[in-house]
Amino acid sequence: MSGRRESGLFIGCVLPLMAGLILQWLHHSEPARILWFATTAIGLALSGVSTWRAIAAQRPTVDVIAFLALVGALLVDEPFAGAVIAVMLTTGALLESRAAARASRELGLLVARSPQSARRFAGTNLEVVPVAEVVPGDRILVGTGEVVPVDARLLTAATFDESALTGEPAPVDRPAGDEVRSGVVNAAGPVEMLVTTTWAESTYSGVLRLVEQAKASSAPFVRMADRIALAFVPFTLLLAGGAWLLTGDPVRAVAVLVVATPCPLLLAAPIAIMSGLSRAARIGVIIKGGGALERLAAGRVLLFDKTGTLTMGHPVLSQVVTDGTSGDELLALAASLDQVSPHVLATAIVTGARQRGLELVLPEAVVEHHGYGLVGQVQGREVRLGKAEWLVEGALPAWAHRAKRRAGLDGSLTVFAAVDGALAGVIILEDPIRPDAPRMLRALKAAGITRTVLVTGDRAEAAESVGRVVGVDAVQADRDPAEKVAVVESESSNGPTIMVGDGINDAPALAVAGVGVALAARGATAASETADVVLTVERIGVLADAIRLAQRAKRIALESAVIGMGLCLIAMVLAAFGALTPAEGAVLQEVIDVVAILVALRAVLPGEKPARALGPVDATVARSIRAEHVAVRYLTDEVRSVADSLEDSNLDLNALRRMLELLESKTLPHERDEDARLFPLLAARVGGIESVLLLRRSHAEIEHKVARLRSLLADQDGPALEPSDLAEVRGLLYGLQAVMVLHNAQEEEFAFGQLI
């Protein structure tokens, strides 16, 4: 039934009922009875169709009670009671339709704003083309207020409204080189972008496919009343029949049937469940129907894939290893060349260079050798980026071999760089752990998850490392898709399972789990097509929020059902003993409906009190300090690179002195700024200055080690390090790097994770 038809039927029952009451009050009883009989006939037709469909589907239903109550009302000449029951039924259908519409409203808005075209540069001219014709490598222009049509990389800094994808209302500033997802809105002036995906593979296209799939696959909510129909219907018929047989009064049987009409379940439970679906959609979680919501609420064992789930799922610049030349100089050359490449590794290199504040220039004569790398001219110098075997003939130099070996041990990627025909450096890219992953695991435990398992196809060393950091209960590594399915089936003995993944290899496990959860913030995959729940935002922490929402919606649905049915049972007993006439029972049943609906409407309201949000000024401060944090984070790996280079006492100290200058001019001022501006915000947000003492202690330790390093270098008169000081300097640098790594992780999780 469409919404209009349901509204029409509701009005068609309410108006005759009210008109009949007015006529009865004016002592025109016969016209009133005719109107009530007509209203009862409408209800009888509706309940008859519903009952017949249930019988044809061999599905138990409580609609049979409403049908018998309407028939009984006509037989015992109680048209007013029948009219009230008809109003109950049409009210239930209307409210269920409105609740379903509310749940899909956010999804419908996503479809309505889908971009249809893009403005693409053709030389120096602009042409408007269908969005499906845009391909990676195209340069496009997005005007003020326009939706970004495809995933792209910024060529200039810009500001975007990302609320449609993330739910965050505040505009987000993005620097040049940053990757922007389709579907966000340009909130500033016109901006140029380099396309990195086609429309079919872009984020927004994937979200729209998920919306359509959710609409198609979300079967009508299986009403909770149907689950207890096998017990409730026989009980009602026995009570009504017993009252009739014992007293010989059929009116009592009809009165029992009237108050037994299970409208509290027909109305209240769907409202609570649909409200849960709607609230989940607002935070970026698409739950495909009431059944999926209930299974999500019941989940107790959570299984994760690693890549893209507990890790970021895309490469991030980690370190630049060179043969002694400046790492920033090499990175600037590489990033300048990579600006015109849509490759995912190119995006990571360009973003990393921008974060370090390096100036990039447009390359010339760029040629891409597919499967090998990229070559071009940057300020008159030939730059090549790609695989080692493409750039180097024979064995790698010792320094490059060490860099490649270390990257392999850490599970990182390498891009080799040659300048003017000579190997100049190795750019190391890693897939870092999501900063919010450990906090998300704790939130899931608080939400009722009793066991967490990391299931990945990655090697055991890398998986165990990630598992220790995020705090899972068990790690299952080196698992192919079939073995992942076996792990999910095995873990089901510990409780209802939830599987989280984002790749094609996760799809079978998602299908087998009690609930499959896919991450689709960067577009739909086979995983998201298979999953019952899809996260369309980058923040994986919303999964814990979604579980709590599902639990709350299910709990409120049960509460409304229990309260409503409990009151119905009391009224049924009263009717069986003759304390209620059918008309009185119908009115009382309406009161019970209102009570049950009011209980269910609590699901529309926010549950837990949200944390105190930062004001606009404080939010700006937190974001600016976060940007500074990202900009100086690379110095952590530079410290290790310098320590690695201290192989003998004859090494030139220029690299060490440059590193010290960077620490004193960038890292220490940034940390002092955090002490002064960031940590007070954190203390106010989480409550108490004690929460930031550990972070401040790390700052003090870093400053202490930098001061010691300055003192050691001050004692060195010549250009080389004294042999007696070599071991101490190397140990000091490795210790400093370890403290900085731990401190950066703590800030990401406890500071920026709480505030941004």
183-211 in b/e form (b: 16+ CB < 10 A) is bbbbeeeebbbbbbbbbebbbbbbbbbbb
Q: To which residue do tokens 């029949």 refer?
A: 241
Average pLDDT over residues 659-683: 87
Instruction: Look at residue 649 in the predicted model and tell me its pLDDT.
Output: 47
Q: How far apart are CA 352 and CA 115, in angstroms?
A: 30
Q: Which of 63, 226, 305, 506 is catalytic?
A: 305
Instruction: Look at residue 462 in the predicted model and tell me its pLDDT.
Output: 77
Report angle CA 236, 242, 246 to the nearest 5 degrees: 155
Instruction: Look at residue 614 in the predicted model and tell me its pLDDT.
Output: 63
Q: Is pLDDT of 122 > 70?
A: yes
Backbone angles phi, psi at 477, to 5 degrees: -105, 170
Q: Which residue has the higher pLDDT, 646 or 528?
A: 646
CA separation, residue 271 to residues 98, 275, 290, 591 (Å): 9, 6, 11, 17
Average pLDDT over residues 51-67: 75
Q: Give catalytic status of residue 305 as yes or no.
A: yes
Average pLDDT over residues 40-55: 81
Token pair for residue 692?
């930031």
Q: Is pLDDT of 689 > 60?
A: yes
162 near 128, Cβ under 8 Å?
no
pTM metric for this prediction: 0.68
Q: How far apart are CA 59 and CA 76, in angstroms?
A: 30
Instruction: Look at residue 498 in the predicted model and tell me its pLDDT.
Output: 92
Q: Is pLDDT of 362 > 90?
A: no
Using a pLDDT cut of 70, give the percent of the chain over it.
84
Integer distance in angstroms from the first to the last C-alpha of the chain? 44
Average pLDDT over residues 684-689: 67
Instruction: Look at residue 1 in the predicted model and tell me its pLDDT.
Output: 44
Q: How far apart are CA 538 and CA 227, in angstroms?
A: 37
Q: How far apart are CA 514 and CA 338, in angstroms?
A: 44
Average pLDDT over residues 536-561: 85
CA separation, residue 427 to residues 272, 327, 353 (Å): 53, 9, 11
- pLDDT tens-digit readout, 610-654: 455 566 777 788 888 888 888 788 888 788 878 877 765 445 577
Structural domains in the chain, sorted by start: 3-109+218-277+551-604 (no CATH), 279-312+433-548 (3.40.50.1000), 316-430 (3.40.1110.10), 616-755 (1.20.120)
Number of helices (H), then strands (E), belonging to the chain: the values are 30, 22
Q: Is 191 helix (H, G, I), strand (E, B) or coil?
A: strand
Q: Is 374 helix (H, G, I), strand (E, B) or coil?
A: strand
Cβ contacts of residue 141 below 8 Å, gap of 6+? 119, 121, 126, 190, 191, 192, 193
Average pLDDT over residues 341-349: 83
